[in-house]
Structure 1
Amino acid sequence: MPTSLPTSLIVQLVQINQRAFESTFLPYAVGLLQAWCMRYASSASRYTFLPILHQRQGLAQALAQIQLADVLALSCYFWNIEYSLALAREHKRRNPRVLVILGGPQVPDGAEAFLRAHPYVDVVVHGEGEASFLSLLESLPGKTWEQIPGISWIDANGRFCSNARGPRLVNLDEIPSPYLMGVFDPLLSAGKWVALWETNRGCPFSCTFCDWGSATAAKVTRFGMERLKAEMDWFATKKIEMVYCCDANYGILPRDVEITKYMVDKNHQHHYPRGFYIQNTKNATERSYEIQKLITTSGMNPDVTLSLQSVNPDVLASIRRENISLDAFRQLQQRFQRDGVNTYTDILVGLPGESYDSFCDGVAQVIDEGQHNIIKFYNVYVLPNAELNQPAYRQRFGIETVRQPYFEPWIPQPQTEVQEWQEMVVATRSLDRTQWRRIRILAWWVELLYLHRKLLQLPLMLIRQLAGIGYREIFEFYAESPIQDAPLITDLRAFYAHKALALQTGETEFCPLPQGSETVWLTVEDFIVTGLHRSGAIAAFYAQNALLLQQLLQHKQRSLPPGLLADAFALSRALFEAYVYSQPFALTLNWNIWELYQGVLRGEPTEPQALPAHYVRDWTGAPFHRVRVEART
């Protein structure tokens, strides 16, 4: 513990955040620390807070900015932990008397090994850290830390010390708002901003892959409505681009409808904030529907999240998760579809207890239950304080992991001095490495062919509905069945096989696209679509797939009405090229393709009819997956 610090202290807060395309996240976590000190310090004038360091930059530049700091406090996440440690290590080397404090979810609850591995870190803070942080400041210079809750450190004798956490705050309005206290006002002129926002704290669920429940405990406590409305007023008048709500289960409380209405009203009055992003509660489906409809119809968020992670009961038991029922999921899908609201569903690749069969059946079931827009397939990553990372849990489920470099997708990134890392699950007791690669590859096929840009959604949907071939059979055919006269598909198979194996040996999940001196990291799907576009292979892609699906029908001894599949391919290609080139088109087709398609989307399938019609898209830009149907006269 430093004992030679001056009575007056210069404090440097650091929270290196991710970017959101043209916007930057405000450093909310450390803003809370500064606001707490401003309100509750015994002598606020004792502390001089330097401008918050919130953007990644060269270490030399960052070190020059923080060189005067007596206290360096860093909020650590998986996307900034290595940079934060490098900054702390070098600042401590240059100024040994500085007090280095770390907090955030990347600091392990059992911190002894971490502290001994990083001896330049003086103390770490666990859990709600506002009060403990101020207590550490007030202890300087020379007071002991034995009475400060929720901290760990190595003392002067080399002994590991750790104090139990104090009780959680019940009245959250005791926490001053960094927004209303003006903490972020000096930053606002520097660009566009995303505000992280809490309306409550706590999570009643205990999903083992998540550290939310363990970090905040089960009971949900709430901030007062007057404070929340004042913050929403601030977001609007300060022209905040987007508000990202950090609540674990937005919609769990009845008042969340009122909060949403107020936020939407601010948008209507001031045109800010432009976006409002939430994480839905896993229950209260009627309230969730009302909230999401308010947000999407206001234009503040085009997509609704209906997360499942898995639909297999054994897997859900293994990860201690409770989903909405599939019946409720289907009803919500159909209601949102009728309202013109897009949804997406999260599914995790490689959960404990998942098998190849349960994963493939689950994906097919989610599509059959109405998810025809987007399924986001996420690899399973290990967080330090999640149950998934506990030795007993890892042994029970045979969890195998690899360390991978972390990159932000879609945003140009220069070469960095410090690489961030993640730990990814690549096998479990129920899913060996070969089977993990198979489900990862199948998920890539689903993303590419059916979802998001919907390259082949229409023909595949008709094969499912009219030929009775299940979605699992279709995607397994693409992934593994013998095929002829489809070199592009053969090349994609080889690429997927290489990429899946590379992931298991520690390669990033993203694919590099060089842009001058910088690199943009793309998802696998984006990388392939970009390749099809740049290589001029779109026509060949559709031609080969038309032949391939005829092979599938012949293999399964099924058929479609003559000309129907050709119409489906013609419209699919036209819609995709309209997306890629932002161009209009006009087609004359012989079947009621659009009626068939929309019927499945609504959950009201109809019969094919030979009804020739014109399919017209006479606009450029969004919406992309729409046409106007005109009867042929």
Structure 2
Amino acid sequence: MWATLKTYRERVVGGVLHTWLDPIWRHGDPIDLLEPRSGQTIDVLGLSCYTWNWRLQCAIAAEVKRLNPECFVVVGGPEPDYKDPEFFHLNPAIDAIAVKDGEITFSAILDKLEVGERDMGDVPGLYVPDASGRPASTGEAIQPATFPFSPYVEQSAYYDSILAGLEPGSYDVILETNRGCPYGCSFCDWGSNTMSKIRKFEIDRVHADIDWISRHSVNIVMLADANFGILPRDVEIADALNQARSAAAGFPRHIFWSAAKNHPERVVSIAQRFAGSGISTVHALSIQHTRSEVLAATARSNISAERQVEVCRSMMEFGVPIEVQLILGIPGDTLELWQSCLADLMEWGIHEDYLIQSYRLLPNAPAASVDFVDTWKVDTVERTMFDYLVRDESARINLLEKPDRIVVGCTSFDRADWIRMALWGAVVKGLHNTGFVQHIAVYLRLTHNVPYVDFYRQLIDGLMTNDPLLAGLRAEIIEHYERFLADPDLSDHMRLDSIGTFGYMLHPSRWLYVRVCQEVDDVFARIGDWVESTFLLDSVTRGLVEYQRQIIVLPSYDRERGHEFSVDVDWPSYFAAARGREGFDSLGEPVPTPGAVVRATDRRSSERVIRADGPGEGYYGKPFDWDSLAGEERWIRWIEQTVMDRASSQLNNLCDLRLFPEPSA
């Protein structure tokens, strides 16, 4: 933001030159962060504010104001709640809130301060305190219509000074090619630019940014466009990123992007280009929920789930793994609808990595409005969220980190329902996405017409309720979520007491996966008995349960020796044919192969992606390099290499499988 504001002032407005102090971009104690600026007068302080840094920014504002009482402090970003009548009373160090784009507004503030005026009532795009101290709008913000200059290029001297002390490829950047979003999802506040016309950056500016990024050996590009692929030229921009990467020896290494919601053909074209070059080897299905009544309740009904799934099916045919983005706790959801949502994805042939986020109330998103909260009778808790799957057990919640408001109840579900929904999410992620029982569920669906929702209801509310071992694991997850709702100091992570030297806490889904792997033989004996008694199937099913058990990557696996086991049917070919298959598209029984063996030769986890130069490794693959370790050290290394990232059967199951003797054609 510093570079954007500075570039606009210097290159678009011009005029009087100011002394711009270097920005504060690290997290830390405010006094320590300000120490390099000791003795310097600060006349204007601009702060870009998000949930994760809001308290820190307020502390910086207070310290700067203490040292510079006449400093004018303006805050922007999605966090400052200008609707709160007590905002300026609660934050006396702040003089104004800027809404929407900040370039023109901030420059106008500088113009006023240059001539000694502190009354900003005639600067559009602000909230300032009125006579009673309540936030008062100064009018609609004037937003830039053109974006001709690249902040990276214009402020390259500053960036070069920072990067000089860092290893190439150890830093990430944000790239914008447009601003605005035509949608108005109630949970979202995309730069305060939702429900707005898209404003394109000049293509020369975009190319300049891309060139700078590739030349500076960037690791990851976070593409800040809300709907990349919504514009025809976005395909050209994707090509430019790939070409720059090719010319710069593979930099940037990766890109994360938010795909356009209603333009499947263009998104497929872009995603295939990115997958082909290796810059993006996972495609995100930003669906939030599968059921139309839930999407309508969160003002997302104008975004077609079917169109997004159409994109995913095309990407799976191309060999690109899918990441499904879901929201737990959308007002309008119910336990039954949530169960159906998870099963719908399986019915569509999407079985990998359901990324489930809690429904957060962002201060300036529509869902945080009084009308929305009152209509749905929204019940929330405040928690400091650690979105990673693991959390360092020694890490304590920083007092300068602002907790999120998490929706845990409303008119359509209560807290008890929310706990059950969270349990379902954890079990499906921990047992289905990882491939622990996925092959069993797929076979029963495609060959014996057992709906996925019925399979998991029988598993979660049947076997995991009645079997002592699995019921104990289920109860621990439920107790975790009960404590999570009661204790504001907890995060959504569980301590792995079964490995005493493991210094991290795990998301419940990963905790469950580790625990069932630790008891794998006992667990599969129970699963085998349950499958046969519940679904009344024959010995083929018992062979399937054993096949599922044998292909799970465990600490006992040795990449030098590989793994070999017996099968009586050709399960590898069956599941190759089943991959990505929709639930209604039935599949016959596997071919009998009495006396055959399967040999696994995997040396690393990898989601095989079809790239321009042939099959390639996915972003999340890691080597199975625990050969020389023993005991807890071996388990810990296995967790680090297979559990701490994306949940996918291609990462957690053995995949380099060959059947001997090979079946005849």
TM over 0.5: yes
Quick check: 1:55 aligned with 2:23? Answer: no
Rounded to whole Å, the distance in 1 between the matches of 2:171 and 2:391 is: 16
- 1:325-340 alignment to 2 at 5 Å? 328-340=307-319
TM-score in terms of structure 2 length = 0.83
The verdict on how the C-alpha distance between 1:108 and 1:221 changes in structure 2, with shifts beyond 3 A counting, is: same
The verdict on how the C-alpha distance between 1:580 and 1:387 changes in structure 2, with shifts beyond 3 A counting, is: farther
The verdict on how the C-alpha distance between 1:517 and 1:39 changes in structure 2, with shifts beyond 3 A counting, is: farther
Match of 2:120 among 138, 145, 153: 145
- 1:480-559 alignment to 2 at 5 Å? 480-481=461-462, 486-505=467-486, 506=488, 507-511=490-494, 520=504, 522-529=506-513, 531-532=514-515, 538=517, 540-559=519-538
Alignment correspondent of 1:35: 7
**1:84: how far off?**
1.1
What is the identity, as a one-letter code, of the residue corresponding to 1:222? K
Rounded to whole Å, the distance in 1 between the matches of 2:558 and 2:162 is: 37
Alignment correspondent of 2:243: 265
Farther-moved stretch of structure 1 (211-220 vs 436-445) = 211-220
Alignment correspondent of 2:96: 123
The verdict on how the C-alpha distance between 1:219 and 1:420 changes in structure 2, with shifts beyond 3 A counting, is: same
- What do residues 225-249 of structure 1 show as CA deviations (whole Å, max 9, x unaligned)? 1111111111111111111101111
- 1:70-219 alignment to 2 at 5 Å? 70-110=43-83, 112-140=85-113, 142-143=116-117, 144-154=119-129, 158=133, 160-173=135-148, 176-182=150-156, 183-191=158-166, 192-212=170-190, 214-219=192-197
Rounded to whole Å, the distance in 2 between the matches of 1:237 and 1:31 is: 18
What is the identity, as a one-letter code, of the residue corresponding to 2:193? A
- What do residues 529-580 of structure 1 show as CA deviations (whole Å, max 9, x unaligned)? 4x53xxxx6352343234234224413444462542244233333x355889
What is the identity, as a one-letter code, of the residue corresponding to 1:30? W
Higher relative contact order (CA 8 A, sep 6+): 2
Farther-moved stretch of structure 1 (191-200 vs 408-417) = 408-417
The verdict on how the C-alpha distance between 1:363 and 1:254 changes in structure 2, with shifts beyond 3 A counting, is: same
On the 8 A contact 2:150/2:208 being kept in 1, the answer is no
Alignment correspondent of 2:660: 631
Quick check: 1:275 aligned with 2:257? Answer: no
- 1:292-311 alignment to 2 at 5 Å? 292-311=271-290
Rounded to whole Å, the distance in 1 between the matches of 2:466 and 2:339 is: 26
Alignment correspondent of 2:207: 229
The verdict on how the C-alpha distance between 1:619 and 1:356 changes in structure 2, with shifts beyond 3 A counting, is: closer
On the 8 A contact 1:542/1:569 being kept in 2, the answer is no
Match of 2:592 among 610, 613, 617: 610
The verdict on how the C-alpha distance between 1:222 and 1:630 changes in structure 2, with shifts beyond 3 A counting, is: same
Rounded to whole Å, the distance in 2 between the matches of 1:601 and 1:283 is: 26
- List gaps (5 residues or longer) in structure 2: 607-650
- Secondary structure at 2:19's aligned position in 1? strand
**1:456: how far off?**
2.0
Match of 2:576 among 598, 622, 625: 598
Rounded to whole Å, the distance in 2 between the matches of 1:553 and 1:206 is: 48
Quick check: 1:429 aligned with 2:411? Answer: yes
Quick check: 1:376 aligned with 2:358? Answer: no
What is the identity, as a one-letter code, of the residue corresponding to 1:419? E
The verdict on how the C-alpha distance between 1:162 and 1:331 changes in structure 2, with shifts beyond 3 A counting, is: closer
Rounded to whole Å, the distance in 1 between the matches of 2:25 and 2:359 is: 27
Rounded to whole Å, the distance in 2 between the matches of 1:336 and 1:594 is: 22
On the 8 A contact 2:98/2:127 being kept in 1, the answer is yes
- Secondary structure at 1:561's aligned position in 2? helix
What is the identity, as a one-letter code, of the residue corresponding to 2:462? S
The verdict on how the C-alpha distance between 1:477 and 1:579 changes in structure 2, with shifts beyond 3 A counting, is: farther
- Secondary structure at 1:227's aligned position in 2? helix
Rounded to whole Å, the distance in 1 between the matches of 2:432 and 2:245 is: 34
Question: What is the aligned residue count?
Answer: 596
- List gaps (5 residues or longer) in structure 1: 1-28
On the 8 A contact 2:225/2:258 being kept in 1, the answer is yes
- Secondary structure at 1:215's aligned position in 2? coil
- What do residues 473-499 of structure 1 show as CA deviations (whole Å, max 9, x unaligned)? 222233322568854422221121112
- Secondary structure at 1:49's aligned position in 2? coil
Farther-moved stretch of structure 1 (575-584 vs 421-430) = 575-584
Alignment correspondent of 1:456: 437
On the 8 A contact 1:318/1:352 being kept in 2, the answer is yes
Rounded to whole Å, the distance in 2 between the matches of 1:226 and 1:582 is: 52
On the 8 A contact 1:346/1:377 being kept in 2, the answer is yes
**1:106: how far off?**
0.5
The verdict on how the C-alpha distance between 1:121 and 1:346 changes in structure 2, with shifts beyond 3 A counting, is: same
The verdict on how the C-alpha distance between 1:248 and 1:140 changes in structure 2, with shifts beyond 3 A counting, is: same
What is the identity, as a one-letter code, of the residue corresponding to 2:121? E
- 1:436-455 alignment to 2 at 5 Å? 436-451=418-433, 453-455=434-436
- What do residues 327-382 of structure 1 show as CA deviations (whole Å, max 9, x unaligned)? 54554444322321101211211111111111111211111111111211111011
Identical residues among aligned pairs (%) = 23
**1:66: how far off?**
3.8
On the 8 A contact 1:127/1:216 being kept in 2, the answer is no
Alignment correspondent of 2:618: none
- Secondary structure at 1:307's aligned position in 2? strand
The verdict on how the C-alpha distance between 1:179 and 1:242 changes in structure 2, with shifts beyond 3 A counting, is: farther
On the 8 A contact 1:281/1:288 being kept in 2, the answer is yes
On the 8 A contact 2:564/2:598 being kept in 1, the answer is yes
Rounded to whole Å, the distance in 1 between the matches of 2:554 and 2:330 is: 33
What is the identity, as a one-letter code, of the residue corresponding to 1:370? G
**1:284: how far off?**
1.0
Rounded to whole Å, the distance in 1 between the matches of 2:341 and 2:317 is: 24
On the 8 A contact 2:597/2:660 being kept in 1, the answer is yes
What is the identity, as a one-letter code, of the residue corresponding to 2:246? H
**1:512: how far off?**
5.9
- What do residues 43-69 of structure 1 show as CA deviations (whole Å, max 9, x unaligned)? 453x22222111112333113134423
What is the identity, as a one-letter code, of the residue corresponding to 1:311? T
Match of 1:476 among 454, 457, 480: 457
What is the identity, as a one-letter code, of the residue corresponding to 1:137? L
What is the identity, as a one-letter code, of the residue corresponding to 1:219? K
**1:622: how far off?**
3.0
Rounded to whole Å, the distance in 2 between the matches of 1:98 and 1:242 is: 36
- Secondary structure at 1:172's aligned position in 2? coil
The verdict on how the C-alpha distance between 1:516 and 1:260 changes in structure 2, with shifts beyond 3 A counting, is: farther
- Secondary structure at 2:5's aligned position in 1? helix
The verdict on how the C-alpha distance between 1:579 and 1:497 changes in structure 2, with shifts beyond 3 A counting, is: farther
On the 8 A contact 1:442/1:476 being kept in 2, the answer is no
The verdict on how the C-alpha distance between 1:145 and 1:402 changes in structure 2, with shifts beyond 3 A counting, is: same
**1:399: how far off?**
1.3
What is the identity, as a one-letter code, of the residue corresponding to 1:440? A
Rounded to whole Å, the distance in 2 between the matches of 1:414 and 1:551 is: 41
Alignment correspondent of 1:291: 270
- Secondary structure at 2:364's aligned position in 1? coil
- What do residues 122-141 of structure 1 show as CA deviations (whole Å, max 9, x unaligned)? 11111111111122122226
On the 8 A contact 1:406/1:419 being kept in 2, the answer is no
TM-score in terms of structure 1 length = 0.87
| RMSD of aligned Cα (Å) | 2.9
